[in-house]
Amino acid sequence: GEEEAASEEGGDEKLVIGFSQVGAESEWRTANTKSIQNAITDAGHELKFSDAQQKQENQIKAIRSFITQKVDAIVFSPVVETGFETVLQEAKDAGIPIFLADRAVDVEDDSLWATFLGSDFVEEGRKAGNWLVEEMKDVEGPVNIVELQGTVGSAPANDRKEGFEEVVSADDKFKIIKSQTGDFTRAKGKEVMEAFLKSEGDNIDVLYAHNDDMAIGAIQAIEEYGLKPGEDIIIIGVDAVKGAFEAMADGKMNVTIECNPLFGPQLVDLIEAHFAGETLDKRIAVEESMYTMDQAEELLPTRQY
Ligand code: AHR
């Protein structure tokens, strides 16, 4: 348990860390899983890993199993924001600190987690909106936007929608004509884009996808439909994964907003600081940027994920 580990000297103790990950839905997620797994084991700690396959009930089971196994700490990337009170309370009662990674939970009692390290998803949505406003400043409109949302109820889907809408709603030439979930996957992104094209066709000016994988799936759908992604339809994604840089270098995607998954080492530093007795900030943001088509070729070889 926590006390036992903390009583050993100086924060150098080997911890047993349970990691409940969302799934393997995107390039981003794969990079994030590796970054966290490697950081834990490279620091000499023991890792217990569980992939929830994007299902909340699997995460609740995984956390309960970590509690039964008496891990020292739990790293938790919640698939959706709500519905985790009970299990987080169980971890608290067992004296096991929770380190929220990447995604937030929506619970009243913030003593249920030690810290939350992740990106500012609302800000990412705003960046996407601001880029579009600037790109379209000389266009009279209407500008018809279709939106591919992330997993229903997840923090990045809720927040990226909110931040984007906040910006584009200031000018009523921007119209979000369709908005549906593609569950953060390429396959669903393609499928839902096909449906958008079927009902709206040439009417679509812009695709805003909550992640690059869905944008990449949609690009395929647009090409199969006979339109040019990046030209006939402006493509905006989030994450800045390699696949997006490749699409941008090919002229098929216009911009990607960075969401950096490589925070494993920073996360392990926080866990160790906690066990060394430090009080952590409740909210720690990951720093990030955004990249456009004209930068893609130059930056592609240096991208780490
Ligand atoms: O929570 C982060 C989001 O989850 C990433 O942007 C997306 O690709 C992933 O599936």
Question: 124-134 pLDDT, tens per residue?
Answer: 999 999 999 99
**Residue range 92-101: average pLDDT?**
98
pLDDT digits (tens, 9 = 90+) for 192-231: 999 999 999 999 999 999 999 999 999 999 999 999 999 9
Residue type, 49: F
Quick one: residue 258, left, alpha or beta (phi over 0 = left, psi -120 to 50 = alpha)?
Answer: beta
pLDDT digits (tens, 9 = 90+) for 141-156: 899 999 999 999 999 9
The C-alpha angle 16, 29, 266, rounded to 5 degrees, equals 50
Per-residue pLDDT band at 11 (split at 50, 70, 90)? low
Which two three-digit tokens encode residue 87? 């299990």
Work out which ligand 1 atom sits closest to the CA atom of 102. 1
pTM exceeds 0.80: yes
The per-residue pLDDT for 222 is: 98
The CA 238 to ligand 1 mean position distance, Å, reads 8
- Give the torsion through C-alpha atoms of 30, 128, 179, 54, to 10 deg: 20
Per-residue pLDDT band at 5 (split at 50, 70, 90)? very low
Nearest to 102 by CA among 128, 76, 140, 82: 76
* Sequence-distant contacts of 105-108: CB under 8 A, at least 24 apart: 105/78, 105/81, 106/81, 106/82
The CA 185 to ligand 1 mean position distance, Å, reads 10
Closest residue CA from atom 3 of ligand 1: 156
**Residue range 286-303: average pLDDT?**
92
pLDDT digits (tens, 9 = 90+) for 231-268: 999 999 999 999 999 999 999 999 999 999 999 999 99
Backbone φ, ψ for residue 79 (5° rounding): -65, -45
- CB contact at 8 A, 275 and 5: yes
Identify which of 20, 21, 25, 29 to mutate to test ligand 1's pocket (most ligand atoms within 8 A of the CB). 29
Tokens 């720093």 found at: 287
**Residue range 46-69: average pLDDT?**
98
Question: What residues contact residue 7 under an 8 Å CB cut-off, 6+ apart?
Answer: none
Q: Where are the beta strands (DSSP E) in 22-95?
A: 46-51, 73-76
The per-residue pLDDT for 1 is: 43
Of the chain, the end-to-end C-alpha distance in Å amounts to 35
The per-residue pLDDT for 305 is: 95
Is the pLDDT at 8 greater than 80? The verdict is no
Work out which ligand 1 atom sits closest to the CA atom of 212. 8
> Which residues have CB under 6 Å of ligand 1?
25-26, 28-29, 102-103, 156, 184, 211, 213, 238-239, 259
Cα 117 to Cα 103: distance, rounded to the nearest angstrom: 8
